[in-house]
Structure 1
């Protein structure tokens, strides 16, 4: 009886469960779109240009417009609620101009009374104004017009869309007009993106009324060196604030410290000269991203930044007047993944005495660190062994141009050495994997060997991604490890300006991807391996000022370099040096009567060997280590170049016109023209109205303002790198 009762109860339970599931998952009948709205969409299509056939499914033959691509409808009512008309991006993040929507936006959109989402981004409306009738679409909550090539003034009618929560007007050209004050009345806004839209003037105080705003992006505009408005601190719900490259100056208002929930803050590429990094930033414990690079900060780095235990990204690079008594505060950044302190001059001068900072052992506690840049500072001391604990690091830290010393420890060298090299200035090599410790005082190269000899496979596994090794201008001694030859992907090898001895590794010819080899100014001896003739891709070779001997191996590549690549090796011979003779082969036998000549030659080469480094540092040392002189030097060169352009070209053209006026025959199209504009000149031209609106928007989008917004410092830095390379080459 009990079993029968239990069976009946189970059946009853199964029946009710099945009934409930069927009723719950019962498919709703599909509702076709409203005929009036369908006709409105077809009218919209007729006004648009569609070279990419993005709206090919919009056809009167297809009865149900809810099934058209880029159209979304309410499942129950069939009314159109969303239009996704953004032009598609390519796989690399750019878009094909030939596929962009354009033309005119028809007022037929007003027939879509339930439309709440409208996306027209990355279209091309040919510098037209934003249609004012959009302000009558009261149901809109999401309006995305970014990079759609709109211009002129923003219609005030947009302020009537009281329920709008998302507004993106970025990447258009609003002709240096101020940000409209009516945006402050759109109290429902949660996301406001105005970056790169050519706004200027003061930020209207009405924006302070947007207390519910969570995302605000004002980067890449021009606010005329005004201070950051203090009312931004009243937007208590802000999570994302980006003011990058917006021409702010002055003090950073302490009211920003009230943004207790802020997670992303970018103040980089502004000019906060003669001001320090505010210590109140250390109290914004919710910060995940803090970017202060190239903002002209000065003074001591506040140790309070070490309180930001949730911070994952910190960039203080290119603030040349920052100082640090020590870097121990970094150990508090327990969640940090990206730490950029490159070219921040982390030293302090007290009564002309430089107090140097060392890399703290505690840095090894940052177990999540993936990128570390300490390059071009005044750091001294050794590399801490604790850095070997950074098991997550994917980008090898930059340590170039410091005053570090001691040996290169084995364990800081991670298994995966992917990094964006400072040398990656060419389009064909945008990313390098590199090992850069140049311009320090490291003393022992054999520590570069990560495993004992005979374990080449492990060595290759540890360093197999490396394409650049630059250990130049250190105090390295010892021999070049034979195991380096297993790095078959290496393209750049620079061990110059050290005290290396021994022979060039016999198997160097196995590194067939090598393009640059610089072993100059060492004490290497022996013959040049015959295997170097296998380096068919090599385009730069410098073996000068060593103790190499014997004949230069014959190959198309090795003979393509001039004698400068081999000079300073008195016992080296063969093309392109003087031919080898039979008597020169036994190195312990000197022909009678030649002792005095050989001594004179040796003295000559010794003099060249001493004279080169002395002359090099006498001329270039100041430019190398005195940043202000270096900048002044290159600014002087730029001014001279501009003066020559401005004075010479018009005068030459005037002279040619004079010749023509005297009926003298000239070759056709005889005219001198100015060279192509540099990125900085291009920016000035854009702001001065040199480019048409369409060209202006196209260039600003295609480059994403990356080049147009480059500051003069980056141009100077590039010239400096190229200049120093040329100095060393010649």
Structure 2
């Protein structure tokens, strides 16, 4: 074209050159102009700066650090503008650790399409009502931002919205979700963790959302509903986990486009409909942790060629699949069939799922040895749970696997504990028959291994001294074995260890230094042969200790006063040792016993005379047990200020003196045992305030006086007071005298008033009389007047003795009957 114009003459050529030059000049001018002016509109820039004023962040790299008044707001972090109009259309401040208030100046952003304030902390403020006036919004994300209160129904005005995420705001609720029905363009709705327990007719409101593809309402306390009412929205994801649904599942033919069906942790019963096998688009099926039963056949799985994850655990299903069945799917994620009946043979069809990453077959009725190539087939497996079966055999070297989690507990596995890969995080081999924990296990180099439990096995010999290579270990349970020798010193390198249990072994020698393990919350060394003094560093360094059990060892010496520094202790058990000296008078510094704790693992405790296991209930227990030692001296008065104490056992010692008068201040006591000591004096009247007392033993002491009147104290059997010969009153005796002495003492006093001090006095009187009789007998034969006087005296004496003897016999019979 240019050649044609040029051939037309010089005039046309000149005109063309001029036009080109003009275009170039115009373009250069526009480029220069864009470098000197802001694309951001002034009103919106000021609105954003005002919005910034209400927010704070402790994170130095937050988005607001780039918001400066001298810069174009379209270049600020988290901001995007329309390239043609300059209007702000995106505000993304997620994951910025922001707190403060959300200023209504955002209303100036009238063309805002995307607003994301998720993963911040707005301190429990309500979701601002004015957000419902941002009419151009297409995506609104407020998840995990610590909002509270009711969801404003004004959000129903956002007719252009296609994504709404209000999830993980636990203090947000909505009693009426009718406003959702107005969001006709909505395709994604996530209100998980929002309290919808009072929401009525919510399925009807959701059924109007014809564009909805993903619905996530887990942990919403949703009331029960017929799920078939949801089948009109063409759903691809239905997540209703952790709610209150009950009854059986409806037919699922209406959910033909489903990719994810997540219904775990409800109360659903009945069988799994066979129509689930027609959902050819299904990629994830999770109905675990319900109350479902019935038989799973090939019909349930026939068309699920796209299935990647199958979770049926925690139900009562019987898996009846042919041993030659060839699955239509190749799982790439999870296969979880725990508590389903699979065995006794290991299913062959599972061996074909070689790409799974999680295999959970706990309590599945599997017995015998695993298939020969089991450990070589699943090369992508990182989580394995075969616990609570009857699997036998030995484990091979597993150091080349990629396991993170291995749970083989409660089986019949034997031999040596093998080496594991450096990726391992969790290992549970408890309740098996492993016998060796030495060289092979020490070959493991797993710095991220946080949990080891190999308790209740047949491990013997000395514990290997290689624990320094498990620097990330937090929980170690090796109890109920036959381990002996000294506890290895390398345990002291586990600086982040929180729970240590070596109970029920044969460890001997002194306790090695664990003073660098300052995160310890539980130490259980019960039933070993450990000796020496209780280390002072326990109270000086382990200041977060909540559970200390040194019961049934050979510890000696006095109780170190440093134990009084254990301000968070809940269970202190030093019983059945050789501890001497007195109780520390600073025990009340264990203010004790006022901190609530939760230990995820079950721990054992002698409670009310019975060995019991406590899990989360341990937070209610505050116990001191120093029984069966050689303690001397008095019970210090300071102990009575431990008002949160629920159990105290000081029995089987040599304690003396009186029970502190203010003992009743420990009003939370449920169990008290002071038996088999040498405690004297009376039972304090304050005992009548121990209204929660259900176990009491004060027997075999030197207590005396009246048992205080109180509903609890009289409800116990008399045996709890036996062996205290000076005690009186119910339930030991019917009553006491006014001065608090026993009825036997009163009887003796009455005898004194009658001239008969004792049975010995009576006997001596008779003997004296007989002796006198024979001395004067000769005189009576010689002189008649003496003989007359003597026989008269004898008759009078006989009458007097008869009367007194009858009275004394009656009183003795009454006393013996009592």
Q: TM-score, normalised by structure 1?
A: 0.57
Residues 399 and 135 from structure 1, CA distance in 2 versus in 1: closer, same or farther, beyond 3 angstroms? closer
**Aligned match of 2:310 in 281, 289, 314?**
314
Equivalent in the alignment of 1:380:
367
- Which whole-Å CA distance do the structure 2 matches of 1:65 and 1:44 have between them? 13
Equivalent in the alignment of 2:710:
none
Q: Is structure 2 residue 216 aligned with structure 1 residue 217?
A: yes
Residues 301 and 74 from structure 1, CA distance in 2 versus in 1: closer, same or farther, beyond 3 angstroms? same
Q: Is structure 2 residue 409 aligned with structure 1 residue 438?
A: yes
Displacement of 1:246? 2.2
**Aligned match of 2:85 in 63, 77, 80?**
77
Quick check: 2:404–2:426 contact (8 Å CA) kept in 1? no
SS in 2 for 1:564: coil
Residues 555 and 109 from structure 1, CA distance in 2 versus in 1: closer, same or farther, beyond 3 angstroms? closer
Equivalent in the alignment of 1:257:
253
Higher relative contact order (CA 8 A, sep 6+): 1
- Structure 2 residues without counterparts, runs of 5 or longer: 1-23, 495-499, 515-522, 531-551, 556-601, 603-611, 622-642, 645-660, 670-818
Quick check: 1:339–1:372 contact (8 Å CA) kept in 2? yes
Displacement of 1:73? 1.0
Quick check: 2:186–2:209 contact (8 Å CA) kept in 1? yes
- Which whole-Å CA distance do the structure 2 matches of 1:566 and 1:485 have between them? 25
Quick check: 1:116–1:141 contact (8 Å CA) kept in 2? yes
Displacement of 1:218? 1.0
Moved more, 239-248 or 197-206: 197-206
**Aligned match of 1:234 in 232, 235, 253?**
232
Quick check: 1:124–1:149 contact (8 Å CA) kept in 2? yes
Equivalent in the alignment of 1:36:
43
Equivalent in the alignment of 1:487:
444
- Which whole-Å CA distance do the structure 2 matches of 1:383 and 1:472 have between them? 18
- Which whole-Å CA distance do the structure 2 matches of 1:561 and 1:126 have between them? 40
Equivalent runs, 1:268-283 vs 2, <5 Å: 268-273=264-269, 275-283=270-278
- Which whole-Å CA distance do the structure 2 matches of 1:270 and 1:396 have between them? 24
Displacement of 1:163? 1.6
Moved more, 361-370 or 33-42: 33-42
**Aligned match of 2:195 in 194, 198, 203?**
198
Displacement of 1:576? 7.4
**Could you report, residue by residue, the CA deviation over 1:231-272 in whole angstroms, capped at 9, with x for unpaired residues?**
221121x22221111222222222x43322222221011111
Equivalent runs, 1:322-401 vs 2, <5 Å: 322-325=317-320, 331-342=327-338, 344-346=339-341, 356-401=343-388
**Could you report, residue by residue, the CA deviation over 1:624-669 in whole angstroms, capped at 9, with x for unpaired residues?**
xxxxxxxxx9999979989xxxxxxxxx99xxxxxxxxxxxx99xx
Displacement of 1:298? 2.1
Equivalent in the alignment of 2:650:
none
Displacement of 1:366? 1.0
Q: Is structure 2 residue 108 aligned with structure 1 residue 137?
A: no
- Which whole-Å CA distance do the structure 1 matches of 2:144 and 2:429 have between them? 45
Residues 172 and 512 from structure 1, CA distance in 2 versus in 1: closer, same or farther, beyond 3 angstroms? closer
- Which whole-Å CA distance do the structure 2 matches of 1:142 and 1:295 have between them? 34
**Could you report, residue by residue, the CA deviation over 1:693-724 in whole angstroms, capped at 9, with x for unpaired residues?**
xxxxxxxxxxxxxxxxxxxxxxxxxxxxxxxx
Moved more, 310-319 or 327-336: 327-336
Residues 296 and 64 from structure 1, CA distance in 2 versus in 1: closer, same or farther, beyond 3 angstroms? same
Please identify the structure whose Cα radius of gyration is greater. Answer: 2
Displacement of 1:47? 5.4
Residues 529 and 334 from structure 1, CA distance in 2 versus in 1: closer, same or farther, beyond 3 angstroms? same
RMSD in angstroms over aligned alpha carbons? 4.8
Q: Is structure 2 residue 295 aligned with structure 1 residue 300?
A: yes
Displacement of 1:159? 2.6
**Aligned match of 2:527 in 564, 572, 584?**
564
Quick check: 1:227–1:251 contact (8 Å CA) kept in 2? no
Residues 131 and 269 from structure 1, CA distance in 2 versus in 1: closer, same or farther, beyond 3 angstroms? same
Displacement of 1:293? 1.9
**Aligned match of 1:112 in 106, 109, 113?**
109
Quick check: 1:326–1:358 contact (8 Å CA) kept in 2? no
Quick check: 2:508–2:528 contact (8 Å CA) kept in 1? no
- Which whole-Å CA distance do the structure 1 matches of 2:41 and 2:525 have between them? 79
Equivalent in the alignment of 1:630:
none
Equivalent in the alignment of 2:184:
187
Equivalent in the alignment of 1:709:
none
Greater fraction helix: 1
Residues 155 and 634 from structure 1, CA distance in 2 versus in 1: closer, same or farther, beyond 3 angstroms? same
Quick check: 1:363–1:386 contact (8 Å CA) kept in 2? no
- Which whole-Å CA distance do the structure 1 matches of 2:63 and 2:340 have between them? 53
SS in 1 for 2:253: helix
Residues 143 and 671 from structure 1, CA distance in 2 versus in 1: closer, same or farther, beyond 3 angstroms? farther
Q: Is structure 2 residue 517 aligned with structure 1 residue 509?
A: no
- Which whole-Å CA distance do the structure 2 matches of 1:529 and 1:671 have between them? 41
Equivalent in the alignment of 1:244:
241
Displacement of 1:222? 1.7
Equivalent runs, 1:52-91 vs 2, <5 Å: 54-60=63-69, 62=70, 64-86=72-94, 88=96
- Structure 1 residues without counterparts, runs of 5 or longer: 1-21, 89-95, 348-355, 421-433, 450-459, 546-550, 568-574, 579-622, 624-632, 643-651, 654-665, 675-730
Displacement of 1:64? 2.7
Q: TM-score, normalised by structure 2?
A: 0.52
- Which whole-Å CA distance do the structure 2 matches of 1:389 and 1:372 have between them? 14
SS in 2 for 1:72: strand
